[in-house]
Amino acid sequence: MRRWFIPGVALTLFLPMVSHAKIDLSGAVRNDAVFYGADEQTLFLNILENKLILQRSTKDWKFYSDLRFYLYYGEGVETPAGWPEELEYITASLPRAFVRYYSNIGDFTLGKTYVNFGIMGPFNIFELDPNVNFSDLNYTKEGVVAITYEAPLGDVSGVKAYVSPESRDTDMSAGASVYTNWGAFDVGLVTGRTGRDLNFAGVYFKGDAEVELQGACAIWADDAFAECHVKAIAGADYGLFDTQLLFSVQYLYNDCPVRPAAGGTSTTVLSTAVSTGFSDRHYLYASAAYTPDEFFRAGVDAFVNAADNSCLIVPAATWVLADGLNLTLLAAWPTGTGDTQFSKAAIGNYAALVRVEAAL
C-alpha cells in the first residue's frame, strides 16, 4: 500500500463527516473479463472495479474524491511484488482526493490531483510519467499529491502552477503554465522541474484550421544544460460523413534517453491501470472511429513504436444497452518480434476483453 493511501482515505471520509456536508455520491461498476493467449494456453483474468466519487461543491470551495476498489480474480492474476501467489486479491487506489478553495486571488487545490499541463491525448510531452490504458484511452490518470494555484487572466486566459513534494514513489516536482486562446487556437507555455535533475520548458497549441490540429514541443535539460533533449508531438483529427467516421493521428518525437519501458508482462496489457513508458525515439498513434449514433461505436486504435517496428492494434466495439449500461468487446494484437516493445513475447499472442460497465 502506498504511503499516500491512508491519509487520502482519511481525507476522503473524515472531511465530509466533520463538515456535516451534503455529499454528492456517484460512481460506476466495471467488470473486465480478459483472456490472454499465451503459447500453449489461454489465461483468464477478471477485474472488477468499483468507482466511488464523493463530491461537494459550494460557491467558495469544492471537495472531490475518486476512490477505486479492484477485485482481481483468475489464473492470469499477477500479484504485486511481495504478495503471496494467489488467484484472487483486492486492492484500492485513490486517483483523486482534493479540496479546492476559490479565493479572490485565484483557486488553490490541495490534495491528490492530476496536474493537467499540455494537451489531453495519448502522448502528452509535459506528463512526468506518461502512461496509457490501452483498453480505455480516457481512463482516469493517476494524480499526484500537490498544491496547485490557478488564476484567470481573462475569460479564456490564465496562469497555473503546482508544487508536489517528494514521496517514496515520486520525486519532488514543480511547474507553471500560462495559457490563452489565440484566434481559433488554445495556446500555452509550460515550464517545470523535477527532483531528477530535469528541467523542461515548452509550448503547446490546439485548434481549428479546417482540420483540427494539435502540437507541442519541449526542451528537457539537466541543471547544467550538459544534456539537452527535445520532445515534440504533432497531430490532426479529421471527420468524414458528418464526423460519423473520425480519423486521428499523432506523432511523438522523444529525444530523451531511453529508459526501460514499464509494463511488458503477459497479463498487464489490458489491465485496468497500465503504465507504459513511451521511451523510444519515434511513436505514432492512429485511430479510426465509427459512431453512427449514441447507442453504438466501433473503432480501431494503433500504437506504433517506429524505433523498433512494433505495433499494438486495438479494435473495439461498444453498445449502449440502456441509460448508463455499456457493453464493450475489445482485443489487442501485438505485431512485434523478439524483444520489441509491442511483441508477442512481451504481451502474448493476443488479448481479448469483455467489459460491462454501469454508472451509479
Partner 1 sequence: MRHVITLSLLLYLLPAHSRAAETASDIIRKVDGNQVFSTETFKAKMVIAKDKRTLTKTFYGYGQKQDMKSFMEFTNPEDKGVKYLKLDDELWIYFPDADDVMKISGHMLRQGMMGSDISYEDMLENDSIEEKYDSRLLEDKQVDGRECYVVELQAKKPDVTYDKQVIVVDKVWYIPLEIELYARGGRLLKTMKQSEVQKLGERFVPMRITIRDMRRRNSQTVVTFEEIAFDGKVPAKVFTKGYLKR
Contact 114, 96 (CB under 8 A): yes
Q: How far is the CB of 238 from partner 1 (least distance, A)?
A: 6
Q: Say whether residue 290 binds partner 1 (CB under 8 A).
A: no
How far apart are alpha carbons 321 and 348 in whole angstroms? 31
Among 324, 337, 338, 339, binds partner 1 (CB under 8 A): 324
Binding span for partner 1 by CB under 8 A among 112-120, 220-228, 271-279, 336-344: 112-120
Kindly state the helix (H) or strand (E) to which residue 191 belongs, with its residue range. strand 185-194
Rounded to a whole number of angstroms, the minimum distance from the CB of residue 280 to partner 1 is 26
Given 291, 298, 315, 317, the residue binding partner 1 (CB under 8 A):
291
Distance of closest approach, residue 239 Cβ to partner 1, in angstroms: 4
DSSP 222: -
One-character DSSP codes across 301-356: EEEEETTTTEEEEEEEEEEEEETTEEEEEEEEEE-B-TT-TTBHHHH-SEEEEEEE
In this structure, are residues 221 and 230 in contact, taking their beta carbons and an 8 Å threshold? no
270 close to 332: Cβ distance less than 8 angstroms: yes
102 interacts with partner 1 by CB under 8 A = yes
* Position 77, amino acid: V
- Interface with partner 1 (CB under 8 A), residue total 56
Residue with Cβ nearer partner 1 (82 or 154): 154
Rule CB under 8 A: say whether 323 interacts with partner 1.
yes
Q: Which stretch binds partner 1 (CB under 8 A): 6-14, 75-83, 86-94, 153-161?
A: 153-161
Q: What pairing do the DSSP bridges indicate for beta strands 282-293 and 296-305? A: antiparallel
Binding of partner 1 by 238 (CB under 8 A) = yes
Range in contact with partner 1 (rule: CB under 8 A) among 13-21, 72-80, 208-216, 257-265 = 208-216
Q: Does 239 bind partner 1 (CB under 8 A)?
A: yes
- Rule CB under 8 A: say whether 189 interacts with partner 1: no
The full 3-state SS of 121-174, as one line of letters, equals: CCCCCCCCCCCCCCCCCCCCCCCEEEEEEEEECCCCCEEEEEEECCCCCCCCEE
Interface residue with partner 1, options 78, 127, 171, 212 (CB under 8 A): 212
The correct pick among 40, 155, 225, 257 for binding partner 1 (CB under 8 A) is 155
Cβ(228)–Cβ(203) below 8 Å: no
Beta bridge partners of 342: none
Q: Which residues in this chain contact partner 1 in the complex, by CB under 8 A? A: 26, 55, 57, 59, 62, 64, 66, 96, 100, 102, 107, 113-114, 116, 120, 138, 140-141, 150-152, 154-158, 181, 184, 186, 206-213, 237-239, 241-244, 246, 291-295, 320, 322-324, 359-360
